[in-house]
Amino acid sequence: MLAIFDTEGVLVDGEFLPEVAKRIGKEKEIDLLTQKGLRGEIKWEEGLKRRIETLRGISYDVYVETVQKMRLMPGAIEAIQKLKAMGFKTITISGGPTLLVKRLKTELGLDYTFANDILFTNHKISGVNMRVNSNKAGVLRSILDQLGEDRRTIVSIVDGANDLTLFDIAGLSIAFNAQEIVEERADIIIKKKNMMEIIPVVRDHFFPKNGQSKRP
């Protein structure tokens, strides 16, 4: 069984690039582009490139400090522990920075992480190596083939329009404090900022009390 999480707004409480933008007084500009991308109003890849361009020149030290200061979503540690006890492997896939998902892999004990590389020239942000695009399911294809998971054994927990392909590969789709476009596609909608809210949903779906498991 496999649990797939978006990162920002799901496993961490906030969005990375808007947090960086606060340092240079461009928070509103970056947040606007971020929200447009999450709502599907602009192509997500275009929005990311525009946000990185806006933040060009910010130092590597600020980048690292921002990653370290981002707060875990309440209940994230406990929820991952519960999922692992149920037999799930865990993945987070992010359009955000590799350094952030590496931190989460260590702190949460995630099995697999995928993210984008922020590029630096002379210790300053200069671009992005986009390993993760809006087709997140496509990015995960090789690992899904390797694990051999059936769609019925997968749960996806996301919040933005750029995550929607993750619903296509999941037997259970959860919109977590999500945009309306995501809620329209989800099996379950959670509006409370606590990751433990997903646990009874997952347990009831994969381990129903009548004993007729939805696992293949």
Q: What is the pTM of this model?
A: 0.90
Q: What's the confidence (pLDDT) of residue 211?
A: 52
As given in the structure block, the two tokens for residue 81 are 């522990």
Length of the chain: 216
The confidence score (pLDDT) of residue 216 equals 45
Tell me which residue range forms the domain holding 165.
Answer: 2-14+72-206
Q: What integer pLDDT is reported at residue 53 of this predicted model?
A: 87
The H or E element containing residue 46 is helix 44-54
pLDDT of residue 168: 95
Q: Look at residue 45 and tell me if it is in a domain.
A: no
- Tens of pLDDT along the chain (216 residues) come to 999 999 999 999 998 888 888 877 888 888 787 777 777 787 878 888 888 888 888 899 999 999 999 999 999 999 999 999 999 999 999 988 999 999 999 999 999 999 999 999 999 999 999 999 889 999 999 899 999 988 999 999 999 888 999 999 999 999 999 989 999 999 999 999 999 999 999 999 999 875 554 544
CATH number of the domain residue 148 falls in: 3.40.50.1000
Is residue 28 in some structural domain?
no
Residue 152 placed within a domain: yes
The total number of structural domains that make up the chain:
1
**CB neighbour list of residue 72: distance below 8 Å, 6 or more residues apart:** 11, 12, 13, 104, 107, 108
Determine the pLDDT at residue 40: 75
Query: Does the residue 65 lie in any domain?
Result: no
Identify whether 161 is part of a domain.
Answer: yes
Tell me how far apart the terminal alpha carbons of the chain are, to the nearest angstrom.
10
φ, ψ for residue 85, nearest 5 deg? -65, -30
Residue 113 lies in a domain: yes
Domain-embedded: residue 212: no
Long-range contact list for 68-72, CB < 8 A, 24+ apart?
68/103, 69/19, 70/12, 70/13, 70/14, 70/16, 70/19, 70/100, 71/12, 71/13, 71/14, 72/11, 72/12, 72/13, 72/104, 72/107, 72/108
Sign of CA dihedral 20, 46, 104, 173: positive
Q: Is residue 177 part of a domain?
A: yes
